[in-house]
Structure 1
Amino acid sequence: MNMILKGLCGLWLAGLFCVSPVKADPKSAEPPHEDSGFFILPDGVDALNMRLTLIREAKRSLDVQYYIWHQDKSGRLILSALLDAAERGVKVRLLLDDMNLAKDRDLFRDLDRHPQVEIRLFNPLKYDGKGLSKIARTVELMVDFKDKNRRMHNKMLLADESMAVMGGRNIGDEYFDLAVDKSFRDLDIYTEGPISRKLTATFESYWKNENSVPFFQEDIKVAESSAHAKEWTNLRHDLGLDRSQNPGDFLAQSKKPSALLDIQKQLIWAPADSLADSPEIFNGDAEGVEDQLKDWPEPQKSLLIESAYFIPTHALLKQFQGFLSRSVHIEVLTNSLQSNDVLMAHAGYMGKREDILKMGIVLFEWRHDLNKSSGGKSANPYGSQAGLHSKAFVIDEEYVFIGSVNLDGRSIHLNTESGLMVHSRDLAAHVTDYIKDGMNPKTSWAISLACPKSPCAEDEKIVLWKGQKDGREVIYEDEPEEGFWLRTTAKFLSHMPFKSVL
């Protein structure tokens, strides 16, 4: 019977969640055996401060894995902190996906010369994207679409194999509420405890994978490092990463205590698991996040989702329909056309939006023109526009997932992903509050189907956007506050036949 149940479980969410017959009691306060500690980071400045704190506290190692790393204020600040750590003897390993690195390869190649720093590129392209090679890089992506579009979307900073920050944020000012023109609403989670063992093992599996390519061969690396060790201060100055770099006034806005001991006193302790695609999925069949989620619960009462890109596959829609038939309440917060930073992703979602609404799923679309970008906590000091970038869901007000996984074909079929699944009503309450705050009528549009006339047939219903503006309820019959040409382009693209890889 158990084998039959497990087989049935594999059908849920195209393998993204499943039933477990055993439920552990969530805990808080003092850590029981094998429970880990958690602390959510919805605020961008807090999330940056947490990363800098872990880097400062590291004594032995820093293992860092990211999809995007911009050379802006926050990107250079974190690099400078990593070099400070390296110069006090901490071993720094940095694994970066090559898709968005392009012209910054030279900087990271220079950083790789430090004797305590090693940098690898995941699934690198042949061309670096500088000058005319930018065209060659684009052609390479088009010609070798299947392999070169499979990217490492994981995001993690792990200190001393014992403390980590994971979640949706890449490294860049827009993820930490520091960008002048835009910022992202996003969500990270700090963790420590036994779960760190699995985080360490996962990083090692990526680091040693054949798709992780070093800048230098080992023998050349030693020679390069030795040659430049005495000149490192000058080289660091030339790179604009002087030791004098400091967080500046913007970190004074952080609402979370900067001392790690103070943070540790506020941890929620609970059973959890670290989930990650095996890097071997690029080379054939291997275990992915969808397989690991089979040991976690299928919703019985409610499913609350926040996903930057929400383009459910046919199998996922079928599973949602099954939940709805059992009276499971499903609510989803995703981007609007105005807030979405990827037009193709919104087009893919548009093509399925009416079907999603007809099923009975409650939809909300995040608004762009806000003064808050981090879950309603602190105002963005630089910009006023905010897109949604979080990836989280809550099952039955009891189980929480926070990570890099969007509910779209790209996350399921192309990219590697990672995240944490935690069994804790306390943590679930915090994440529920975060998502629900984003769904309120001042921050999002409530989406519905309505008849333009009465009576009307089902296929005559139109999509409505309802929210509040300047203290008044407003209703739109088309994508709110966007121009004719962008709406028309998105509608045209929504009919294109490539939603499975968006």
Structure 2
Amino acid sequence: MAGERFPWHEDNRFELMIDGGAFFPAVLREIDAAQSQIDIELYLSSSGQASQRLISTLLKAVSRGVQVRVMLDAVGSKELEDKERAQLRDAGVELRFYNPLRWFAGSRNLHRDHRKLLVFDQRVVMVGGMGLTDEFCQPDEHGQIHWHEQMLRVEGPVVDDWQKLFERQWKLCERAGLPRLLRLRKRSGRVPAPPQGDAGLARVAHIDSRHVKEMVSCLLAEIARAEQRVWLATPYFLPNWRIRRALKRAARRGLDVRLLLCGQQIDHPAVRYAGQRYYRTLLKAGVRIHEYQARALHLKTALVDNWISLGSCNFDHWTLHWNLEANQQVIDQALAEQVAQYLSEDFQQSTEWTYSAWQQLGWQHRLQIGLWGLVNRLVMRWFGIR
């Protein structure tokens, strides 16, 4: 199955949930409703109120005879306490970890499972950017969720492909502590073109580090045939030259091209500075750049006309080189309108850059951009990332 391109499916149904106050209770409801099987694949997990709520709900599912399998990234789950891991295993939950750190493994330790998907009874999937942490799932003392994120609930034929993707990775993690990493090589091959129609169409898109990069091909193809808009939301903006070129060409064709990026509330400020070195040429080409101010942005969304891609993929150099990622691609008029609505609201809560503002940028800020841009280029060159 390595490198498999999944087809488009018709007759799917979607429910979009914005922020943990909406999607985390929905996850717990799906666990409560499950009758036979629950499969969970997550990158980030840490002990706290959210983990206890999820574990408690999973243990109830196991007690009524539901098979529960949980696959976590070994690095992303480092703050999940041993006692909670033991709770899961002692109750009968099958628990596996992707690529634990190993001495002398070198750059292989950098391969991470960044996917976020939950499959219930092989009938419902929830996919997006959720982390199992209080910052994603629990409101603070002011009633706010720290991370601005989303999950998409999907029913229909496309769920079978999500199950296949989970099963494949589960088998690769079968020997705990010694996952079989795919040999790194670039794959060629065409991805399925979107079919005719404007409702219920969906396909699974995935990245297996350098092995499969179909999401980039899909995005570039959609931008090339776009007629109205290209809106991208991502917290870490370090796109390759092909994506940057496509955005500039779309803007010069007169399309509405907008980026929704992190403002000063970001967990990796150096990445923000490194990505800002691309602002000048993008702004000059007519791309509108918005930095979100309300909270920490974690959305990973592409809206190109009525084509939608959302999930775990950030479209940055590092993601595309090292990570396992998965997005739900959708063509659905109603969902596109929902995505456009919430992105429009987010643009209003953002600071928009202008070319004149860029020209007037202070030397301290430019120094940070130059420094972290240089570091980024050196790291990319060292690892052979393009």
TM-score range, shorter chain: 0.7 to 0.9
AA aligned opposite 2:282: I
Superposed counterparts of 1:246-261, under 5 Å: none
Within a 5 Å distance, the mapping from 1:229-268 to structure 2 comes to none
Match of 1:7 in 2: none
CA contact (8 A) 2:239 2:317 kept: yes
Residues 295/429 of structure 1: CA separation in 2 closer, same or farther (3 Å cut): same
2:137 to 164, 176, 185: 176
Give ranges in structure 1 of 5+ residues lacking alignment. 1-19, 25-32, 127-139, 217-267, 371-385, 452-460, 464-476
Give the structure 2 partner of residue 185 of structure 1.
Answer: 148
- By how many angstroms is 1:322 displaced? 2.7
Per-residue deviation, 1:119: 0.5
CA distance in 2, matches of 1:420, 1:104: 27
Of 316, 327, 339, 2:243 maps to 316
Question: RMSD in angstroms over aligned alpha carbons?
Answer: 3.0
Counterpart residue number, 1:345: 271
Taking the aligned partners of 1:274 and 1:195, their CA distance within structure 2 comes to 7
Structure 2 unmatched runs, 5+: 1-6, 179-197
Q: Measure, in 1, the Cα distance between the counterparts of 2:242 and 2:174.
A: 32
- Contact 2:222 / 2:304 at 8 angstroms: preserved in 1? no
In 1, distance between residues paired with 2:123 and 2:367? 50
Check if 1:387 corresponds to 2:350: no
> Could you report, residue by residue, the CA deviation over 1:82-102 in whole angstroms, capped at 9, with x for unpaired residues?
111111111010000011322
SS of the equivalent of 1:417 reads strand
How far is 1:212 from its partner? 5.4
Query: Do the aligned residues in 1 keep the contact of 2:46 with 2:78 (CA within 8 Å)?
Result: no
Correspondence for 1:156: 117
Q: Tell me the equivalent position of 2:205.
A: 275
- What TM-score do the two structures reach when normalised by structure 2? 0.82
Note closer, same or farther for the CA distance 1:98–1:323 as it changes in structure 2 (3 Å cut). Answer: same
Taking a change above 3 Å as real, the CA distance of residues 196 and 395 of structure 1, as seen in their structure-2 partners, is same
Distance 1:286 1:333, change over 3 A: closer
For the 8 Å contact 2:204–2:328, the answer to whether it is kept is yes
Deviation at 1:420, TM superposition (A): 0.7
Residue 34 of structure 2, aligned match among 42, 58, 66: 58
CA–CA distance in 2 between the matches of 1:58 and 1:182? Answer: 27
State yes or no: 1:449 paired with 2:355. yes
**1:306 touches 1:333 (CA, 8 Å); kept in 2?**
yes
> Secondary structure in 2 aligned to 1:439?
helix
Contact 1:177–1:184 under 8 Å retained in 2: no
State whether residues 119 and 215 of structure 1, in contact with CA within 8 Å, keep that contact through their aligned partners in structure 2.
no
| Displacement after TM superposition at 1:34 (Å) | 3.4
CA apart distance, 1:81: 0.7
Structure 1 counterpart of 2:93, one-letter code: V
In the TM superposition, 1:83-162 aligns within 5 A as 83-102=59-78, 104=80, 106-107=82-83, 109-114=85-90, 116-126=92-102, 144=105, 146-162=107-123
Give the deviation of 1:195 after TM superposition. Answer: 1.1
* Letter aligned with residue 156 of structure 2: G
Preserved contact between residue 89 and residue 116 of structure 1 (Cα < 8 Å)? no
Residue of structure 1 equivalent to 2:166: 203
Give the conservation status (yes or no) of the 8 Å contact 1:409–1:499: no
Q: Which residue is equivalent to 2:374? A: 495
**Given residue 353 of structure 2, which amino acid in structure 1 is its aligned partner?**
I
Structure 1 residues 215 and 158, CA, compared in 2 at 3 Å: closer, same or farther? same
Calculate the TM-score normalised by the size of structure 1: 0.64
The residue identity in structure 1 corresponding to 2:274 is G
Do 1:311 and 1:499's aligned partners in 2 also have CA atoms closer than 8 Å? no
Contact 1:98–1:122 (8 Å) recurs in 2: yes
Correspondence 1:211-226 to 2 at 5 A: 211=173, 213-214=175-176
Which amino acid is the alignment partner of residue 190 of structure 1? R
CA gap 1:123/1:274 in 2 versus in 1, 3 angstroms: same
Distance in 2 of aligned mates of 1:154 and 1:92 = 18
How many angstroms apart in 1 are the aligned matches of 2:85 and 2:48?
Answer: 18
Q: CA deviation at 1:499?
A: 6.6
1:290 counterpart = 2:199: no
- Conservation of the 8 A alpha-carbon contact between 2:122 and 2:159: yes
Q: Give CA-to-partner distance per residue, 1:28-61, whole Å, 9 cap, x none.
A: xxxxx93111010013211111100110000001
Partner of 1:409: 317
In structure 2, how many angstroms separate the alpha carbons of the residues matched to 1:349 and 1:418?
23
- The answer on whether the counterparts of 2:207 and 2:215 sit within 8 Å (CA) in structure 1 is yes
1:301 is aligned with what amino acid?
A: Q
Question: Relative to 1, partners in 2 of residues 1:449 and 1:290: Cα closer, same or farther, differing over 3 Å?
Answer: closer
Offset of 1:176 from its aligned partner?
Answer: 2.4
Letter in 2 for 1:204: E
Could you say what secondary structure the match of 2:353 adopts? strand
Tell me if structure 2 keeps the 8 A contact 1:289–1:417.
no
**Aligned counterparts of 2:29 and 2:247: Cα–Cα separation in 1:** 40
How far did 1:159 drift? 0.6
Distance 1:319 1:330, change over 3 A: same
Distance 1:212 1:438, change over 3 A: farther
Q: Measure, in 2, the Cα distance between the counterparts of 1:409 and 1:39.
A: 30
Per-residue CA deviation, residues 301-353 of structure 1 (Å, 9 max, x unaligned), is 210111111112122212223323332221011012x1111122112212222
Q: Alpha-carbon deviations, 1:382-421, whole Å to 9, x = none?
A: xxxx20000111111x111111111211222211111111
Deviation at 1:161, TM superposition (A): 0.8
1:303 is matched by which residue type in structure 2?
V
